[in-house]
Structures are given as C-alpha cells and as structure tokens.
Amino acid sequence: MNAAFDRLTLTDVSRNFGRRRALSRVSFSCASGDIFGLLGHNGAGKSTLLAILATLLRPSSGQVRYGAHSATRGGAAVRASLGLLGHELQLYPELTAAENLRFFARLYGLSDVQARVRDALAAAALADRADDVVSGFSRGMRQRLALERTLLHDPRLLLLDEPFTGLDQASAAALIRRLRGLAAAGRIVIVATHDLDLAEGLLTRSVILREGRVAALHEDGLAVRARYEAALRPQRAAS
C-alpha cells in the first residue's frame, strides 16, 4: 500500500530543539519532475529539513503534505513511497551487495525480489560484484549501490543528502544523468548539496536556507552560485 502523490507541500514548518531554532517557518512546494535543491551553509537546517521530509522527525509546528496524505496520518503508507539516501550510506558492510539489496527488498515487502535485485545491480553497474561484501567497495560503488537500494521500492519522493560527496567526475556525471532520468519519469527529487557547480547543471528549482529560514526561493535552475552568494551575503549589523 503506497501513498500515491505528485506534490509535496510544506507550510510554515518549524523545528526547535529546546531554545535552539533549527528551522523557522519554512514553506515551499515541489511537484513531479522537479529536481529541487536545498542549499545553505552547514548548520542552516538542511539535514533537519530532510529528516522531517523523511518522516524521521516531527516538526514542532507547521505541516508537511504528501499529496493529500500527511506523515502523522499516513505513517507506513507514506514511508513506502519515499526514499532517503543519507550521508552515511546505510549499507551493511558485512553483507554482499546482493544480500543488502535482498534484505531491503524483503523488508519493504516487495514482490519479485530476485528480478528487482538483478535489475538494481545492473543499474548500479555492479552485476559482476554482486557476491562481494560491501566493505570492499569504494565510495563511488557504495554510493551507486545505496542509490539503487533507495530506488528498489520505486518511491515517488527521493531525498538525497550531499550525494556528490567523495565522487569523482565520472561518477558525479553518472549520478546527474540518473537523477534527471528519475525526475523525467515523474518522481520528485530533492537534493541537499554544497556543490554549487554540480547543482548548476542539475537543479530545476531551489531554496536557500539561512539559519533555519528561507533566504531565497528560485523557480529555475540558473545562476545558482551567484544567487547563493547573494542570498547568503553577511547581513549588516542591526542598529
């Protein structure tokens, strides 16, 4: 039972930890086909926002709607429709590539596990390394495997946290191609990243966060670096 949706809407989402505000009244929405960028300095709230979108964290106030569903009511159905590729790749190093995929496929209750695992390995270009333990893989290989793991259950919303970290040029280009393909196929893709040059060629829309607040919201993917620097220029001291 997947929740079917093609729009993600945030309304005044805030999150605080004690007296520290991590996010303050963040609002935006994205739709199928978007490759939406979350940009900002370290500590701006990108990871917190991603955790909220992944339903791992509840907002202190405000609402997140996945189409007509919400995380609180939707629960497992919403989780079945989203995928998160975290900064730590969430793979079991002692298991082989195939075993990792099989485990998650079964955990998600998917049918046709054999076929899906085979296809995922092919998409990750790891078919020949299927029975090798993941601890022996390079970062790029693990990344490809983790991405396929995230896509096994065909999620409608794909969340990526700093996916370009530690990737060489070729791997980064391959990832960009993959993400474009996924968005074109109707997924909503949200990418939190520091890498402004790569973001330039990838994003269709973006939001720039500053200290937990929306500093700027852009409806196209142009001039990412310039806009980023403009939005995050140090503010004059308040009088």
18 belongs to the binding site for another protein (CB under 8 A): yes
The correct pick among 91, 97, 160, 172 for binding another protein (CB under 8 A) is: 91
192 belongs to the binding site for another protein (CB under 8 A): no
Task: Report 106-145 residues binding another protein (CB under 8 A).
Answer: 106-109, 133
In angstroms, give the least distance from the CB of 43 to another protein. Answer: 15
176 belongs to the binding site for another protein (CB under 8 A): no
In angstroms, give the least distance from the CB of 190 to another protein. Answer: 15
- 86 vs 163 by CB, closer to another protein: 86
List Cα–Cα distances, 220 to 27, 34, 62, 224, 229, in angstroms.
17, 10, 26, 9, 16
98 belongs to the binding site for another protein (CB under 8 A): no
Task: Report 30-59 residues binding another protein (CB under 8 A).
Answer: 54-58
Task: Report 61-90 residues binding another protein (CB under 8 A).
Answer: 76-77, 79-80, 82, 84, 86-90
21 belongs to the binding site for another protein (CB under 8 A): yes
Report the alpha-carbon distance of residue 198 to residue 187 in Å, rounded.
20
193 belongs to the binding site for another protein (CB under 8 A): no
216 belongs to the binding site for another protein (CB under 8 A): no
> Do residues 72 and 9 make contact, with C-beta atoms less than 8 angstroms apart?
no
In angstroms, give the least distance from the CB of 17 to another protein. Answer: 5
- 46 vs 79 by CB, closer to another protein: 79
Of 22, 27, 16, 20, residue with least CA distance to 63: 27
- 19 vs 219 by CB, closer to another protein: 19
DSSP the chain: -PPP-SEEEEEEEEEEETTEEEEEEEEEEEETT-EEEEEE-TTSSHHHHHHHHTTSS--SEEEEEETTEEHHHHTHHHHTTEEEE-SS----TTSBHHHHHHHHHHHTT-S-HHHHHHHHHHHTT-GGGTTSBGGGS-HHHHHHHHHHHHHTT--SEEEEESTTTT--HHHHHHHHHHHHHHHHTT-EEEEE-S-HHHHHHH-SEEEEEETTEEEEEESS-SSHHHHHHHHTSPPPPP-
- 25 vs 65 by CB, closer to another protein: 25
- 149 vs 205 by CB, closer to another protein: 149
The site that binds another protein (CB under 8 A) totals a number of residues, namely: 38
Residues that bind another protein in the complex, under the rule CB under 8 A: 16-19, 21, 24-25, 54-58, 76-77, 79-80, 82, 84, 86-95, 99, 103-104, 106-109, 133, 213, 238
